[in-house]
Copies of this chain bind each other. A is one copy, B any other.
Amino acid sequence: MTNGNRTDGATGTALQLRTTVTKDGTIELSLAEVPIPQPEADEVVVRVEAAPINPSDLGLLFGPADMSTARASGTAERPVITADIPQNLMRIVAGRVGESMPAGNEGAGVVVKAGSSPEAQSLVGKTVGIIGGGMYAQYRALKAKQCLVLPEGTTAVEGAACFVNPLTALGFVETMRLEGHTALVHTAAASNLGQMLQKICLADGVELVNVVRKPEQEELLRGIGATHVCNSSSNSFMEDLIQALVDTGATLAFDAIGGGTLGSKILTAMEAAATATAKEYSRYGSTTFKQLYIYGGLDRGPTELNRGFGFSWSIGGWLLTPFLQKIGFEAAQKLRERVAAEVKTTFASAYAKEISLAEALQLDAIAVYSKQATGEKYLIRPNQGL
């Protein structure tokens, strides 16, 4: 279960996943052997037991590489993956060329060593949720105050994804309130995040229109209490969606897909719902303000807008970190506390597979988890399987 090169809380070396964009236009992933970090006074060292591969991790892991060109080298224990980056996309990653970067936004583990501060010392032996990058590693040092202590009886696997998805789902509902909307639309809605959002909306009495692609995803969401589920593969999708928008009055959507026409369809359906109840014709469309936020890029192709939704609309990017900065530490802390309290219920995640760091750099594993398909989420266990 442990790596021969180190012992808990001691010195030695440990593994860390690295990703590098080379100047000749490839991305290279490998495992680096790095010294086990030693804590500063206000820091702790966490033995990372579990770290999910979220869609938000893939941008750093693979950049804009064409993963159909990915090839393996190295050994089973020290695999190396190389993939080509299309020339016209190198501009996007110009800032990271030649830099070997750790990856993994969040995870959970056990505090095995602590600095001298009382806050740090109080965490020794505790299982904590952690965020801040570099979690695809056996050990991670970070500020004691960055750790979210998980409730007694919570495992690291259960707490591995207690930041990104939970805070994003809570952030959607907070954004709705802050920006004066009263109901929500969410795409890729059967994801772990989508299920959390449905549970939050049920608890908070917020109406949610779920958009999915498959009948089994419809069933899954109805099984956890969803009222409005629209299947974008259905022939009646637009009518179903318009009806759900008339029923709920949702004028705010969060879209994980990004590419294609789905976002445009949602705005068009919102406009149709608004004009269905409007009293007077306006050549510029309804005066109902419609907001679409793109928070992911499951489809990396271009976004296509038909603009058949008047002039009162906005589309923007939505990211968790700027949102948390905007609401401020205290408001964000309240959200974090809610996550800790409901980590086994509202914010429970499910994984298709647990893999080691070396397994994360196998072509067959990458082929699955890089697709970001709903129900195919992988969990890295950095201190297992080596």
Residues of A within 8 A of B (CB): 59-60, 89, 91-96, 99, 258-259, 264, 272, 275, 278, 280-285, 287, 294-295, 297, 302-308, 310-319, 322
Compute how far the CA of A322 lies from the CA of B285 in the bound complex, rounded to whole angstroms: 12
Residues of B within 8 A of A302 (CB): 264, 304-307
> A308–B59 Cα gap in the complex (Å)?
12
Contact present for B308 and A305 (CB under 8 Å): no
Across the interface, A307 reaches (CB within 8 A) one of B60, B303, B314, namely: B303
Chain B residues with CB under 8 A of A304: 302-305
Closest 8 CB pairs of A and B: A95-B281, A311-B317, A314-B316, A303-B305, A96-B281, A311-B319, A60-B283, A302-B304
B315 pairs with A314, CB closer than 8 A:
yes
Contact A284 B319 (CB under 8 A): yes
- Please give, as numbers and ranges, the residues of chain B lying within 8 Å of A282 by CB-CB distance: 95
A59–B314 contact, CB under 8 A? no
Chain B residues in 8 Å Cβ range of A96: 281, 283
A279's closest neighbor in chain B, by CB?
Answer: B95
Q: A283 to B317, Cβ gap below 8 A?
A: no
Take A303-B307, A322-B287 as given contacts and tell me if A280 and B314 are in contact as well, using a CB distance cutoff of 8 Å. no
Chain B residue numbers with a CB within 8 Å of A278 are 95
**Given A59-B283, A258-B307, A313-B317: 7 more A-B contacts, CB < 8 Å:** A94-B275, A287-B322, A302-B307, A304-B305, A310-B317, A312-B317, A315-B315
* Residues in chain B near residue A94, CB distance under 8 A: 275
- With A and B bound together, what is the CA distance between A18 and B228 in angstroms? 43
Give the number of copies in the complex: 2
Tell me the bound Cα distance from A305 to B297 in angstroms.
12
Taking CB as reference atom, which chain B residue is nearest A272?
B91
| A315 / chain B contacts, CB cutoff of 8 Å | 314-316
Which of A282, A302, A307, A317 has the largest number of chain B CB atoms within 10 A? A317
Contacts A99-B281, A302-B307 given; does A322 touch B312 at CB 8 Å:
yes
- Per the bound structure, the CA–CA distance linking A318 and B317 in Å amounts to 18
A259 to B306, CA, bound (A): 8
* Given A94-B275, A302-B307, A316-B319 contact (CB < 8 Å): no
Please name all residues of chain B whose beta carbon is closer than 8 Å to the beta carbon of A89 when the two chains form the complex. Answer: 308
Give chain B residues whose Cβ lies under 8 Å from the Cβ of A318. 311
Q: Are B264 and A308 in contact (CB under 8 A)?
A: no
* CA A91 to CA B294, docked complex, whole Å: 26
CA distance A306 to B283 in the complex (A): 29
Q: In the complex the two chains form, is B280's CB within 8 Å of A95's CB?
A: yes
Report A33 CB to chain B, min CB distance, Å.
Answer: 24
Q: A306 — which chain B residues lie within 8 A by C-beta?
A: 302
Report yes or no: A307 in contact with B283, Cβ–Cβ below 8 A. Answer: no
29 contacts between A and B (CB under 8 A): A59-B283, A89-B308, A91-B272, A92-B285, A92-B308, A95-B281, A95-B282, A259-B307, A264-B302, A287-B322, A294-B307, A294-B311, A297-B307, A302-B305, A303-B303, A303-B304, A305-B305, A311-B317, A311-B318, A311-B319, A312-B317, A312-B319, A312-B322, A313-B316, A314-B314, A314-B315, A314-B317, A315-B315, A315-B316
